């Protein structure tokens, strides 16, 4: 089952922006302050929530701390969501078929009207 902490962490837009930033490469807190446009204490609080949820990991390099994405919790979330995506895909396909049938009822009749 997916951790509630992961869902709560990604519910906040600033945390999603941080995750987007660290998805491709490591970033220091200073880098993230510039990317997110927030003061350092705020970014640090968001990073703590992301760390506690297991979504980022940190490594020390001299005086700097570099953060990077840990994709495993998101993979678990993706696996948990898969049955729901399949359910919605089926419903959307049925809606599409219904709309195609009702949008242009004459298109479903194979009779054509001749022009005078």
pLDDT band, residue 5 (cuts 50/70/90): confident
Give the chain's domain count: 1
On whether residue 38 sits in a domain, the answer given is yes
Q: How far apart are CA 43 and CA 33, in angstroms?
A: 6
On whether residue 113 sits in a domain, the answer given is no
Domain that holds residue 13: 1-103
On whether residue 108 sits in a domain, the answer given is no
On whether residue 81 sits in a domain, the answer given is yes
On whether residue 112 sits in a domain, the answer given is no
Q: Which comes out higher in pLDDT, residue 92 or 30?
A: 30
For residue range 12-62, list pLDDT tens digits in order.
999 999 999 999 999 999 999 999 999 999 999 999 999 999 999 999 999
Entry pTM: 0.73
CATH number at residue 75: 1.10.10.10
pLDDT band, residue 109 (cuts 50/70/90): low
- Asked whether 24 and 58 are in contact (CB, 8 A), the reply is no
């Amino acid at each position: 089952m997916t951790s509630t902490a992961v869902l709560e962490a990604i519910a906040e837009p600033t945390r999603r922006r941080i995750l987007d930033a660290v998805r491709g490469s490591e970033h220091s807190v200073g880098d993230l302050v510039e990317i997110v446009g927030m003061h350092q204490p705020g970014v640090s609080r968001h990073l703590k929530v992301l760390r506690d949820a297991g979504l980022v990991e940190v490594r020390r390099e001299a005086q700097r701390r570099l953060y990077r994405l840990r994709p495993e919790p998101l993979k678990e979330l993706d696996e948990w969501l898969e049955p729901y995506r399949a359910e919605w895909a089926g419903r959307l396909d049925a809606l599409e078929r219904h709309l195609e049938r009702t949008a242009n009822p004459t298109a479903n009749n194979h009779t054509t009207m001749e022009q005078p």
